[in-house]
Amino acid sequence: MSNLYTAEATATGGRTGSVKTSDDRLDLNLSRPSEMGGDGGPGTNPEQLFAAGYAACFQGALGVVARREKIELPDDSTVTARVGLQKSGLAFALDVELEGRFPGLSREQAHALMHAAHQVCPYSVATRDNVAVRLKVAE
């Protein structure tokens, strides 16, 4: 199997440094959240970046699944990813909740789409059996 696309990013200084992609499209300062003993500065953090990537990727997977199932995904549908960082013994672990909002679709259709997208989304495939991921449909 060959890559369809490869992203490259380099971090300097860990959680209080910076991260930049090789094409310069992303160039961000990082700050440690105050909840983690940091200064809560203006920079982003790895969990926010992971949440943003997972939400966007999962939204794309929903579009793929909806097209396959011949379901019209509402233009104003959204996916919100909540990524928690947990202490797990001497290591750390992630906890993820994906919440989909699908105006105009039934709860049954929305749940079916979420579960089908979870089978094809590259982030879901990568985290399967390694990260607790909860799927939720917004009220």
Q: What is the pTM of this model?
A: 0.94
48: tokens are 């926010």
How many C-alpha atoms does 69 have within 13 Å on its Cβ side?
17
pLDDT in tens, 62-85: 999 999 999 999 999 999 999 999
| Number of neighbouring beta carbons within 10 Å of residue 131 | 16
Nearest one of 52, 65, 54, 47 to 128, comparing CA atoms? 54
Taking only the tens place, the pLDDT of each residue in 20-66 is 999 999 999 999 999 999 999 999 999 999 999 999 999 999 999 99
